[in-house]
Structures are given as C-alpha cells and as structure tokens.
Amino acid sequence: MKRSLPLSIVLMSLTAGLALSADKQPQSGANLGNVKGGDFEQAHGIIDKKCTKCHSKDKIDAARSSGKDMIKIQKEMLKRGATLNANEQEVLGIYWKQTNPLTKK
C-alpha cells in the first residue's frame, strides 16, 4: 500500500505534465490561420510549387528532421529570391513550427 502512493503521485505528475505540453502544441491542423483541414495540404502545395524550383523535397525533409530552424531558412531563401506572399509565409510558418506535421497522404 505504501508503494502505491508514491507511484500514484508520479503518475499524476506525468499526466499533468502531458496535459500542459498538449496545450502548447495543436493536436491537429484545424483552425490554424491559413492552414485549413488537418493534412497541411496547402503547405505541401506551396513547397511543391515554390521551394522545389531550386532544390528537392528531400533536402527540405532532411533539414526538418535534423532540427534546423526552418523559419530562419525560409527568410534566407526569400533573401535569395524565393517569392512567397504573406498567406504562403503564414502557412509555411505554421507548418514549420509543428513538431510532427501531418504527412501528405
């Protein structure tokens, strides 16, 4: 019985921590400004249309998976001549900030 109390406290702490971290990041792609739906289709479309003119999606995926600052990279690409309107920048900004964006199906 004495062992179950500390275990209960640990489990409650973990549950509370998970609940707090869940509040920080959206659980789906719904209601995220210009990103509609849940599959980030707009972001993939922008990447296909604009970003792959100069490099492959594999390069983008490698940068994302290695934890690079994609917003910083996006700003650098704009300096180099990439063209993104305000809506496209917002969509990609939301997409980059997702820790595990929903993949294109």
pLDDT in tens, 12-52: 655 555 444 444 444 445 555 555 545 578 888 999 999 99
pLDDT value for 27: 41
**Token code pair at residue 53:** 């003119």
Amino acid at 60: I
How many other C-beta atoms are found inside a 10 Å radius of the C-beta of residue 90? 16
- Check if the beta carbon of residue 53 is closer than 8 Å to that of residue 102: no
pLDDT surpassing 80 at residue 59 = yes
| 24 vs 67, higher pLDDT | 67
Tokens 């509609």 — which residue?
A: 36
* Global model pTM greater than 0.95: no
Task: Please tell me whether residue 35 adopts helix, strand or coil conformation.
Answer: strand
| 86 vs 6, higher pLDDT | 86
